[in-house]
Amino acid sequence: MFSFVFWVLLIWFVVNVIWMWFVLNKQIYQRTFAWINVACIIIGFWVFYGVSHDANTLANCFIWLNWINVVLACVQFYFGYRKISSSN
């Protein structure tokens, strides 16, 4: 279960990062995927600390992926909830 969840979260992370940069000005999308990231973060930390695993490279990558996903969610919340000025 540990490695399966890691690979699912990694694929989600890569797709989300690529997708995010194409829709920076669409706040609804940014908010939606930021909240999905919160769910992924909860699942990621729950699996990391709740499932037995060896202390190997995959475990290190898993915890780094979780923390990088926290940063990504913060960036998406910023782009999703920032006030856009319409005085151009």
pTM, two decimals, is: 0.82
**Residue 25: DSSP 8-state:** T
Q: Which residue from 61, 66, 64 is spatially nearest to 46, judged by alpha carbons?
A: 66
Percent of the chain at pLDDT above 70? 95
The predicted pLDDT at position 27 comes to: 86
- Tens-digit pLDDT profile for residues 29-49: 889 999 999 999 999 999 888
Q: Tell me if residue 35 falls in helix, strand or coil.
A: helix
Confidence of residue 75 (pLDDT cuts 50, 70, 90): very high
The predicted pLDDT at position 50 comes to: 85
- Alpha-carbon distance values, 41 to 3, 26, 83 (Å): 16, 22, 26
The predicted pLDDT at position 2 comes to: 78
Task: Output the six-digit token pair for 51.
Answer: 């499932």
